[in-house]
Chain A
Amino acid sequence: MWGSETFNVDATPTTRMKILVTVAEAATVDDEFSVDGLGIDEQYLTHDINEWDDYAVEEAVQIAEAGSDVEVITATIGPERAEETIRAALAKGADRAVRIWDDAIADRDLLDAETKAALLAPVVEAEDPDLVLTGVQAADSGFAATGVTLAERVGYQWAAVVNDLDVEGDADGGTASVHRELEGGVEELTEVDLPAVLTIQTGINEPRYASLRGIRQAQNKPLDVRTLDDLGLDAEALASPLRWTDTYVPESEGEATVFEGDAAETAGELAGVLREQGVGE
Chain B
Amino acid sequence: MTVLAVAEHRRGELRDVSLELIGAGRALADAVDAPLHVVVVGGDVDTFAERLNREGVDAIHTVAEGEEHNHDVTVQAVSALADDLDPAYLLAPHSVNGLDYAPALASRLDYPLVTDAIDLSVDGETLVVTREMYGSKVETTIAVEERPAAVTLRPAEWPRAKGRGDATVEAFDAPIDADAIGSTVTGFQEVGGGDVDITDADVLVSVGRGIGEEENLELIHDLADALGATVSASRPVVDNGWLPKNRQVGQSGKVVTPDVYIAVGISGAVQHVAGMKGADTIVAINDDPNAPIFDIADYGIVDDLFEVVPALTDAFEG
Contact = CB atoms under 8 A, between A and B. Distances in A.
B168 interface: no
Interface string B304-318: 100110011011100
A35 B134 CA distance: 12
Contacts of A38: 140
B67 interface: no
Nearest to A32: B290
Interface string B65-107: 0001101000100000000000000000011110111111011
Contacts of A270: 283, 299, 301, 312, 315
Contact of B189 (A31, A189, A196): A189
Contact of A245 (B104, B143, B185): B143
Contacts of B240: 206
Given A113-B113, A186-B188, A280 B227 contact: yes
A203 B312 contact: no
A257 B300 contact: yes
B228 A280 contact: yes
Contact of B188 (A139, A160, A187, A277): A187
A52 B141 CA distance: 24
B106 A149 contact: yes
Q: DSSP class of B's interface residues: helix, strand, loop or mixed? A: mixed
A62 to B, nearest CB: 15
Contact of A242 (B112, B296, B312): B112
A27 B294 contact: no
A32 B291 CA distance: 10
Given A180-B100, A185-B254, A271-B312, A245 B128 contact: yes
Contacts of A145: 99, 102-103, 113, 115
Contact of B190 (A140, A160, A185, A196): A185
B268 to A, nearest CB: 10
A240 interface: yes
A192 interface: yes
Q: Determine which residue in A32, A114, A161, A242 has the highest number of CB atoms from chain B within 10 A of its CB, and name it.
A: A242
B139 interface: yes
A256 B103 contact: no
A258 interface: yes
A144 B99 CA distance: 7
Contacts of B184: 190-191
A159 B284 CA distance: 36
Interface stretch (B33-41, B54-62, B144-152): B144-152
10 contacts: A31-B291, A32-B290, A145-B103, A183-B95, A185-B252, A190-B185, A242-B114, A250-B138, A267-B301, A280-B228
The 6 closest A-B pairs by CB, nearest first: A157-B182, A267-B311, A263-B307, A203-B239, A241-B146, A271-B315
Given A182-B10, A185-B252, A268-B315, 6 more contacts: A149-B107, A181-B252, A185-B245, A188-B185, A196-B182, A242-B145
